[in-house]
Amino acid sequence: MDLELTERERAFQAEAREWLAAHVPAAPLPSGDTAEGFALHKQWEKQLHAARWAVVSWPRAYGGREASLMEWLIFEEEYYRAAAPQRISQNGIFLLAPTLFEFGTQEQKDRILPRMAAAEELWAQGWSEPNAGSDLAGIQSRALRVDGGWRLTGQKTWCTRGAFCDWMFGLFRSDAAATRHKGLTYFLVKLDSPGVTVRPVARLDGDAGFAEVFLEDALVPDADVLGPVHSGWSVAMATASSERGLTLRSPGRFTAAAARLIELWKRRGAHADPGLRDAVVRAWMDAEAYRLYTLGTVTKLAAGGQLGADSSLNKIFWSEMDVRLHETALDLLGPAAELAEGPDAAWMKGYQFALAGPIYAGTNEIQRNVVAERLLGLPKG
């Protein structure tokens, strides 16, 4: 592929860079996984939307710029470079939206996407249950057919920012006679509906970002079923593929972190173990390698290809790279890392979150099973 940016892409990059330089808040916002931080991030999302930077690759009618995937990557790179706020809209715009574009009815797209883009409605992901995380096909929450819709009953857990979101997408067993991957349906659930109780769960770092969601005969109209009834597994796998393979973690996040690590080395390296120099170089090379690999993925998609089981390789790579990169930063900071103030304080919080990377979006053990069985053709373990 040609790695040189076209004139149009360069102009797009310059426009994004200029806007971000003028608008990114000078001081970082409080964590978007707290009530106070979430409200401030929501305002930021609205600002992005007003300037048409919230969902650059979407159609104009829904608030986008019809940017190519390549331009989306450029925007992401600029976004992280500018140290702009975390995207609290990510479960909606990066996970649900690609699935809505593929499986949603025209009515669903016209109703949901503009409000999602404008951060008027924020989305949580409701897949995991207390007894079904890795084994998603083992979910027990169920949907009962009633006149005009479905009544949902069960419990979802670990819903990121679910305590503050307006809607949740999730899988439910709609055919009680079916087992495993069959008889599941993908529902869109309004979290303030009667019969829905949202309970915040505090995280290790003190933020109350997670939620458990309890459903007791909550009514969901037919209009909020996404994709075919009883075939929700394939709809959910489309969400999982785009999450692991491209949209959840764009390379800009890691190239920006590697650049910050190099800056930290320049400040602290003289006092640090010289062996850490190699770890810093490796972090930079890994981030660049991930960037090039993603360009390959985007080229494949632009040529009509699809994301498949190789998304699992991608997820293993970025999640493990992120842990190593943050460990290197903490080693550079030394024993004071936990007490660091100012910009260096972000490394400890970033490390704690990086540790979750090999767990969320499907654990790395599960990704390795997928790689072994579906890419390498090894027998089932």
What is the binding site for ligand FAD (CB under 6 A)?
125-128, 133-134, 158-160, 356, 359-360, 362-363, 365-366, 369
Minimum CB separation of residue 341 from ligand FAD in Å reads 25
Q: What type of residue is 303?
A: A
Cβ proximity to ligand FAD: between 119 and 165 the closer is 165
Residue 217 CB, nearest approach to ligand FAD (Å): 21
CB of 353 to ligand FAD, least distance (A): 7
Which distant-in-sequence residues (6+ apart) come within 8 Å of 140 by Cβ? 129, 131, 132, 154, 173
Helix, strand, coil percentages (3-state) for the chain, rounded to 5, are 50, 15, 35
78, 243, 320, 365: the catalytic one is: 243
Q: Which of residues 345 and 356 has its CB atom nearest to ligand FAD in the complex?
A: 356
Pairing state between β 123-126 and 167-173: parallel
Distance between CA atoms of residues 251 and 255, nearest Å: 6
The β-bridge partners of 124 are 168
By beta-carbon distance, which residue lies closest to ligand FAD?
A: 133
Return the number of the residue (39 or 366) whose C-beta is nearest ligand FAD.
366
142-146 and 184-190 as β-strands: parallel, antiparallel, unpaired? unpaired
Q: How far is the CB of 368 from ligand FAD (least distance, A)?
A: 8
Count of beta carbons in the 10 Å neighbourhood of residue 217? 12
Rounded to whole angstroms, how far apart are CA atoms 67 and 55?
9
Name the residue nearer to ligand FAD (CB basis): 201 or 289.
201
Close Cβ partners of 151 (under 8 Å, ≥ 6 residues apart): 143, 144, 195, 217, 218, 219, 220
**Residue 271 vs 380, nearer CB to ligand FAD:** 380
CB of 251 to ligand FAD, least distance (A): 20
Least Å distance between CB 127 and ligand FAD? 4
Structure tokens at 91: 């479960």
Closest to ligand FAD by CB, 304 vs 381, is 381
- Angle between the N-to-C axes of helices 345-354 and 311-333, in degrees from 0 to 180, rounded to the nearest 10: 150
Question: Would you call 320 a catalytic residue per the annotation?
Answer: no
DSSP 79: H
117-150 b/e with 16+ CB inside 10 Å = b? bbbebbbbbbbbbeebbeebeebebbbeeeeebb
Radius of gyration of the chain (CA): 21
Known catalytic residues are 243
